[in-house]
Structure 1
Amino acid sequence: MFYRPEDGHGLPHNPFNAIVSPRPIGWISTRGSEGDNLAPYSFFNAVAYVPPQVMFASTGRKDSLGNIEETGVFAVNIVEYAAREVMNATSTAAKRGTDEFALAGVAKAECTTIACPRVEGAPATLECRMTEILTLRGKDNFLIVGEVTGVHIRDDCLNEGRFDVTRFHPVSRLGYRDFAVVREVFTMKRPDDA
């Protein structure tokens, strides 16, 4: 099968999200003049080491984007398998000003380097200062880039000095309404490793 996106795919569901998978989930927390917000984004990833930077994309002018435009900060909370249901509950299209932390029963804590809430007890949280918001092609597509200014790591997720995903099993997004969980990890050395 081959198709051009502008011509349509002819399938009952769009295969694009399923092809580009698995995708990590950035559980983005923000604070604005109308309160705190928490929402999952599956167009999320790390994009640079030094300084550490992350990005996520918003389809639509959602509360997360509005709060970041207002304050210039956000936090990325890593989603573990044990939090999959509450993460999903925060994906609801609640009216502006709704505190999804309270709505889904998610405990919150304050960030250290920015004025923003974070998910208390998340395996890791990246505190970020927005560096740019790009308007992408199409209707209401935005790319938010942030520099990481602080990192929280839950102590039980460290194993011999390494952040160990097998200790909490991160959740990722596949296509459609499908998700995956990391339960198996393997290591490969690069050809130029010493």
Structure 2
Amino acid sequence: MHYETTGNAHGLPHDPFKAIVSPRPVGWITAMSGKGEINLSPYSFFNAVSERPPMVMFSSAGRKDALTFIEETGEFVCNLAAFDLREQVNATSKALPRGESELEYAGLTAAPSRLVRPPRVAEAPAALECRWLQTVPLAPLGGGEPSYFMVIGQVVGVYIDDRYIVDGLVDTAAMRPITRAGYRDYFVATPETKFQMTRPGG
């Protein structure tokens, strides 16, 4: 099949776009307001976009609390969303009143970050401490008001649970990160599905 992305031209029960662009890492973002309020929420439009210097981005549908808090304080943390924490990750997607802690709602523990004010999730096997660079409104072709806003941050500190460092390398598969697909579907990375390839020279 082929369809144009305007309207409901695909004729399917659900838009297949996110099912095709998958799996996507889950950005489990901790942010702090200027008043010290903590927000923890998962974002399925998330990824690393640079390594020199290391940068990440996530995209918010509308100006949610995480985006507002980050712009107030200029900092955030990306916690690794692991399979063992999948229920807590899902719980933190609940829309709570502003100022009510998703960390507490999900039964999670806040651990102090080293270089930024927002805490990391103590139970997460890894976390990226970030300083906000910019917010990019994702305006559509032809103009109009953006419905998504992309937040870009530079990673200034990295936490890794020492259990997952093996022979000097991070064993990502052992952390079993969950990734987002379309609809209600997720994938999980496991040691059994890991494989290696060497890039060709030239």
TM-score (norm 1): 0.96
What are the equivalent positions in structure 2 for 1:25-174 lying under 5 Å apart?
25-32=26-33, 33=35, 35-138=37-140, 139-174=146-181
| In 2, Cα distance between equivalents of 1:149 and 1:92 | 29
Ranges of 4+ aligned residues in structure 1 off by more than 6 Å: none
Verify the 8 A CA contact 1:121 1:154 in the aligned structure 2: no
Following superposition, the deviation at residue 34 of structure 1 comes to 5.8
Preserved CA contact (<8 Å) 2:108 2:123: no
**2:5 partner letter:** P
Structure 1 residue 168, shift from structure 2 partner: 1.7
Note the residue ranges of structure 1 that are not aligned, 5 or more in a row: none
Query: Partners in 2 of 1:86 and 1:126 — Cα distance?
Result: 19
Q: Which amino acid aligns with 1:17?
A: K
1:186 equivalent in structure 2? 195
Cα distance in 2, alignment partners of residues 81 and 41 from structure 1: 16
Identity of aligned residues (%): 47
Q: Match of 2:13, SS?
A: coil
Shift of residue 140, structure 1, vs aligned partner: 2.6
Measure the CA separation in 1 of the matches of 2:164 and 2:64: 31
How many residue pairs get aligned? The number is 193
Q: Is the 8 A contact 2:173 2:194 kept in 1?
A: yes
SS in 1 for 2:123: coil
Tell whether the 8 Å contact from 1:172 to 1:179 is kept in structure 2 after alignment. yes
Which stretch shifts more, 176-185 or 2-11? Answer: 2-11
TM-score (ref. length: structure 2): 0.92
Query: What residue identity is the alignment partner of 1:31?
Result: M
Displacement, 1:167?
1.6
- Deviation of the 1:27 alpha carbon: 0.3
Aligned residues of 1:39 and 1:100 also touching (Cα < 8 A) = yes
